[in-house]
Amino acid sequence: MATLEIKNLHVSVNTEQGPKQILRGVDLTIRSGETHAVMGPNGSGKSTLAYSVAGHPKYEVTDGEIYLDGQNVLEMEVDERARAGLFLAMQYPVEVPGVSVSNFLRTAKTAISGEAPQLRQWVGDLKTAMNNLRMDPDFTERNVNEGFSGGEKKRHEILQLELLKPKIAILDETDSGLDVDALKIVSEGVNRAKANTDLGVLLITHYTRILRYIKPDFVHVFVAGKVAEQGGPELAERLEAEGYDRYLKASV
């Protein structure tokens, strides 16, 4: 049973015009097995939340706290957060030229587990996971994210999610840019991880579409750097019908 607690989180980002406040007091608690959808219009700070929890150096936490099972996440380096059980599926995964997927995955698995995986077991797990995500076996010989299509990048992120078995995963617009078939495959992967490891999920999305495949327990509407409204799955249905206009008018 894991719990990620985000309390009163304030985050600013450095721009050429000086620091700019993006998050203005975010409170969220995600437990194992729960799926939280964070929805909101562009520029509301959804991705900033994701990157701040993962520890990207560009974002500065100016106030608030983040705890994973009582451990102070803000005092951890990026890699320590991952080893503690946090995972961020990125919206724009970067290329790492010359590093094969196979090498990358094994290195990450070794880092997370603290020891190199048993070869036979690892090869089997990798094959199964790739098969489930309908990925070609040759994929492992390619360089990380190099020349990947949008769909391949997202599948590769979910492949890591399934293999690294984190406690809490943040999915940053994993659905964006995917066609329906790819969206289903990726969603199945997330659902498998939930079923197999009791994963807690923070699902960041602009659209309600992915919520047809990954059922949220909670929906949080993000506007201007904080949660404007929260509720159950029915809130997503209302957003589907009405869009974000209601919140944007209120915040002006």
Contacting positions for other proteins (CB under 8 A): 54-57, 77-79, 81-83, 87-88, 90, 93-99, 103-104, 107-108, 111-112, 143-144, 160, 164
Give helix 119-132 / helix 101-113 axis angle, nearest 10°: 120
| Torsion, CA 148, CA 151, CA 152, CA 157, rounded to 10 | 120
Nearer to other proteins, 6 or 239 (CB): 6
CB of 25 to other proteins, least distance (A): 25
Closest CA to 86 of 192, 170, 153, 203: 170
Nearer to other proteins, 111 or 123 (CB): 111
Please state the φ and ψ torsions of residue 118, each to the nearest 5 degrees. Answer: -60, 130
CB of 53 to other proteins, least distance (A): 10
**Spatial separation of the C-alpha atoms in residues 197 and 13, rounded to whole Å:** 34
Non-local CB neighbours of 241 within 8 Å, separated by 6+ positions: none
Provide the CA 173 distance to its chain's centre, in angstroms: 8
Nearer to other proteins, 8 or 113 (CB): 113
CB of 110 to other proteins, least distance (A): 9
CB of 102 to other proteins, least distance (A): 13
Nearer to other proteins, 36 or 153 (CB): 153
CB of 135 to other proteins, least distance (A): 18
Nearer to other proteins, 16 or 77 (CB): 77
DSSP string, 76-119: S-HHHHHHHTEEEE-SSPPPEEEEEHHHHHHHHHHHHHSSPPPH
Nearer to other proteins, 60 or 79 (CB): 79
CB of 177 to other proteins, least distance (A): 18
For residue 200, give the amino acid letter.
G
